[in-house]
Structure 1
Amino acid sequence: MKTTKLTRWALCAAFLAALSLVGCEQLDPYSIDAPSDLQSRIDSIAAAKASIDTGDTTYLNIATAIVGPEDNSAGWWAYFSDYFTIPANKLLHLEFVNHGTGVNNWNNWNLAVANEIADRDADGYAEYFVLRSDAYGWGGGMVDEGYVYDGAMITQNYPDTDGDGDIWNDFRTTMQGASVTLEVDHSATGNVFVTATALGTNGVELVQTYQQPVSATADITAFLICDGSYFEMKKAYLIPSKVTVVEDVNPVSIVVDGAPAFVELGNEDFWGNATATVTYADGSSAQVDTADISFNVIPDMTTLGEKTVVLAYSKTKQGAYTEAVSTFYTLEVTNSVQSLEVTTLPNITTYYFYNSDSIIFNNAGIAVTATYSDGTTGVLPNETLQFGKIPAAEGAQSAVISYVGATSTVTTTCPLTLVKGIGQVGATDFSTAWWTAFSDDYTVASGSSKTIIMYCYSNGLANWNSPSTILRKADMTENAVVRMDNFGWGTGYATATLTNDWNWDAFTSNISGSRVAITVTNNGDNTADILYTVTYANGETHFQKYAGITVDSSDLNCALVLEGAYLVIVE
Structure 2
Amino acid sequence: MKHLNKIASIFCGAAFGLLALASCEGGDVYNVNAPDWISHKIDSIENSKKSNEEVLVGMQEDVYTIGNSDYSSGWWTSFSKYYVVPDGQKWNAVLNLNLNSSDDTYYKNFAIVFTNDVDRGGTGYQEYGAFRFDATGDSAKYNSQWGNHLYFKYTNSTQLLAPDANNKDANVQKLGGKVTITVDRTSSNTFKIKITNGTVTKTYDQPFKLSNLNADASDTNIRCFLVPEGSYIDFLQTNIVPIGGLTSAQDKAPVSMVLQNVPDEVTRGTTLDKAMSNISAEVTYEEGVKKVIPASELYISAIPDMDVPGEKNLVVIYNKTFKGSNATKPIVAYAKFNVVNSISSIKITKAPSRSNYYFFNSAATSGMTDRTLAFDPTGMEVTATYADGSSAIIDNAKLKFSSVPASAGTYNVTVSTANGKTDNVSVTVSESASTFVTPNPTTLGAADNTGAWWSVFTDNIKVPAGKTYAVSFTNYSSMAGNWNNFVTILRNSANSEYAVVRSDNYGWGNGYAASRNSGGQANWPSWLAAMNGANVNLYVTNCNNGTADVQAVMKGTDGKTYIQYYLGVNTVDVNDLCFAFTIDSCHLIFNSSLAASKRSSYRK
TM-score by structure 1 length?
Answer: 0.43
TM-score by structure 2 length?
Answer: 0.41
